[in-house]
Chain A
Amino acid sequence: MSIRLALGNVRKSLRDYLIYFMTLSFGVCIFYAFNSIDSQQAVMEMTGSQMAALRLISRIMNTFSVFVSVILAFLILYANGFLIKRRKKEFGLYIILGMEKWMTARILLFETLFVGLLSLFAGLFLGVFLSQGMAVVTARLLGAGIGSFSFVFSFSALVKTMGYFGLAFVLALLFNIEMVRRQKLIDLLYAAKKNESFKPPRPGLSILIFILSLCCIGLSYKLILNNGLISSQGILTVCTVLGGAGTFLFFFSLSGFFLKLVQQNRGLYLKGLNMFVLRQIAGKINTAYVTMTLVCLMLFVSICTLSSGMGLADALAAELRGNTPFDATFFVRASDESPESAYAGVDLLAIARERGFDPGEGTYAAVRAYAADSPVALLAEGAEKTVYPEFMKLSDFNKVLELQGIDPIFLGADEYALNSGVRNERWQGMLAAYEEGGALELAGKRLRAAADGLYAYTTEVSSIKDYTIVAVVPDELLSDAPIKRDILHMNYPPGDGDCEKRCVSALLGFAPEGFEGSLETKARMMEYSHSTTTTIAYLAIYLGVVSLLMAATVLAIGQLSEAGDNVDRYGLLRKIGVEDRMIDTALFAQILICFGVPALPALAHAAVGIRAASKFVDIFGEMNILGSSLVAAFGIVVIYCAYFFATYAGSKRIVNKEYAHQRRIMENE
């Protein structure tokens, strides 16, 4: 009996359950997919270190899953609470008909169970497909090959998903039963009749607050754009506080301000149902500005993490290609303990051969970088005084270029050139000084900047792109200069897969006594970078999507419960002769604006945030923020729209329900 009632209820209120179902399914799907990462190795051909990277990613995802599961559980409870609220009267009726409270609770139990199971399976089904596609993406991000196709299925992720969501359901269940148990019958029956206290906005004050809020937001934009993300903690805090407070005040005053604005335009205000819709929204925002602020901030976080996370991953991958001009770079320099002047230089080629690896098998370039005492101070006025370039002989620099297959550069006897792999902000002062023809004094000789002597070649394999800025000078000027480091660039002979292994075993971690050595190879960097990019990208997507789900669900449910309260108002419009189409349009506009209002400031915040972040990310390389933003935006729009339409369908149903019911009775006669 309870089961039949419960099944019938679920079938009857399928559209009421739609948002609940969607949130659960999306949640389960995402949760499963990101927890099944380690089982994706089934379709990949990986090296040992790639495997280790995959395991690391999987561990990080597992850690964050705890946090995510708490959020999802909260969402489930929130959505569930809305459903229960809408059906209080029904439960009151059961009890009045003589049903025991525990029986009502049992109906609820079965209902929750049905919907829970249904969405769990739908979510898992989607999740299995998602993880299938994700395996391909993971393989690409990790630089691993794709092996023969096989079905990716993670039993542990399945168990985990079921466990976590099962727990959330149990919580929802306890919550429901407690609700039914504690409610008084009168409250259940008259739940819908409770009057909402309507507070009309006060326009005068809100205009003032609105302007203040715009000032706050504008100021925080200006601060963050001028100072960037790597500014002092103080400025960042001020920005956050100003932005947050500004957003809050914005929503606090928006309804009053907007209402006043539109009321001025009588042609617009007194047209169709505009007046009504505007009042509806004003009333809504007026009471729900806290929710609006939260939703806006969640959307902001979602947009930022999704686009800059993916952008960062892109940037890291792109940078890698430009950052590895050779197969390997080995260098030795004075260790931090011993002063630089004590370093007299070593013969790297000899060392390598001694340790069993002959760079001569392939091609190589052994070069030297020099330090100078106080070169920078001699650059043009306004230059960054604290940064010291490395010096390199013209012949050495050309060797480095030749190894990359680049034509050599030429210098006059009194000229110098500058090379920097990236136009980083740190070098900006120096590069600008060069472009203004800043002179350089070295070994008692004054050098002028060579025309077109500013190069942007990558000159070594290094994990950080802006490691060096190199001043290239005529050879003879450096004969007495202190040596900074010896560098050996190597390209392996083509088709020799073993070379990397031998090179690494000979030189990795090795340094002559008293010195520091460093080996960076292309292959190692690839793997390292792949695991970093993958981690960042996945984490960004995971958290971004979850916070998007949260924002959309909170909005949708807010709107739906609003629609429930609005049945009377819409019914009244019908009574005074408003057409169905007009009512649908009004409802559509109302929900559209409610979804749009928090999204627009979130977009503006995100645009500024991403701009600031892209400057920060520049250190790692140029970020293709546009491409990844578009991809992220597409995903966000799809999910957001899904929630929007589900909300519209649900609200329409709620608003039309009573009316449709009446009409059905009439038509049956």
Chain B
Amino acid sequence: MSSILQAQNVEKYYGNKGNLTRALAGVSFSVEEGEYVGVMGASGSGKTTLLNCISTIDTVTAGHIHIDGRDITEMGRKSLASFRREKLGFIFQDFNLLDTLTAYENIALALTIRKRPPREINARVKEAAEMLGISDVLRRYPYQMSGGQKQRVAGARALITNPALILADEPTGALDSKSARALLESFRRLVREKKATILMVTHDAFAAGHCDRILFIRDGRLFHQLPRGRDTGKQFFDKIIEVVSLLGGETNDVN
């Protein structure tokens, strides 16, 4: 296994000389190919900043981030845009589906904007839909789907381009528990069957419980890492709760 993502001493400062805010204070970690990694932390801990830096939406102040062997902190704006398009897949909390397009078209759009030949699109959309269990809603518009279905359509859209790394920002945040479970299970399937690499930011311990490994962030530093190892779901979940209570503050959010 080679590592897909490597973060080395990533620092991020906001503000100017008189008033500096340190959002990330030297975070280092790596994610291997086919790994399902969760990032947890309280509000303001820097987890979203970290995700933004990795997803090239934001730039780092110091340190390096290598994705699929390339250092994104050294790239220009133009190559960043194409890098983002070719190597990364995104899943957002609020789905971000186009309301004017059907599920099928929303998924296909990810390929058409990458100028893939139209004849390969159909088969790939069908395959991705199959993988996420949404084959029967492909002809529907977003307003005709449930939240879970919408998020799985967004998942299919992120996955269909075979990105090196899928970044998910609170994907279960807007879902009820049943939909959340279905979504998380389909993520697992992606990792198992398609060897996808997923980095998921969440503050939901239940969602984190599906991951292979969890990074805990506090005050801009990597506070703790928790690998799943041979734990059962229940054991792993209990350990997560333990760490979360140590992180302080966020125990109330665990549901």
Contacts and interface: CB of A to CB of B under 8 A. Distances in A.
Interface of A: 198, 200, 266-267, 269-276, 279-280, 282-283, 569, 572-573, 575-579, 582, 666, 669
Q: Which of A200, A270, A274, A582 has the most C-beta atoms of chain B within 10 angstroms of its own C-beta?
A: A270
Q: Which 3 A-B pairs have the closest CB atoms?
A: A270-B118, A577-B85, A279-B100
B141 A274 contact: no
B112 A273 contact: yes
B51 to A, nearest CB: 13
Contacts of B85: 577, 579
Contacts of B108: 270, 275
Interface residues of B, number: 32
A576 B157 contact: yes
A578 B100 contact: no
A664 to B, nearest CB: 14
B113 A578 contact: yes
A274 B98 contact: no
A569 B113 contact: no
B134 interface: no
16 contacts: A198-B99, A198-B141, A266-B122, A270-B121, A272-B112, A273-B109, A273-B113, A275-B109, A276-B98, A279-B101, A569-B98, A569-B100, A575-B96, A578-B113, A666-B59, A669-B14
Given A200-B141, A576-B90, A582 B113 contact: yes
A275 B105 contact: yes
Contacts of A582: 113
A646 B127 CA distance: 44
Given A283-B100, A569-B98, A576 B118 contact: no
Interface of B: 14-15, 58-59, 81, 84-85, 88, 90, 92, 96-101, 105, 108-115, 118-119, 121-122, 141, 143, 157
Given A266-B118, A572-B96, A576-B157, A666 B112 contact: no
B154 to A, nearest CB: 9
A270 B96 CA distance: 20
A200 B100 CA distance: 7
Contacts of A275: 101, 105, 108-109, 112
Contacts of A270: 108, 111-112, 118, 121
B112 A576 contact: no
Contacts of B105: 275, 279
A274 B113 CA distance: 9
Contact of A576 (B59, B96, B119): B96
Q: Max chain B CB contacts within 10 Å: which of A276, A577, A582?
A: A577
A666 B53 CA distance: 12
B56 to A, nearest CB: 10
Given A279-B100, A569-B98, A669-B14, A575 B90 contact: yes
B100 A198 contact: yes
B172 to A, nearest CB: 19
A273 B98 CA distance: 12
A274 B122 CA distance: 16
A85 B105 CA distance: 32
Nearest to B83: A577
Contacts of B114: 577
Contacts of B88: 577
Given A266-B119, A275-B105, A576-B96, 13 more contacts: A200-B141, A266-B122, A270-B111, A270-B112, A272-B113, A274-B112, A275-B112, A575-B90, A577-B84, A577-B85, A577-B113, A577-B114, A582-B113
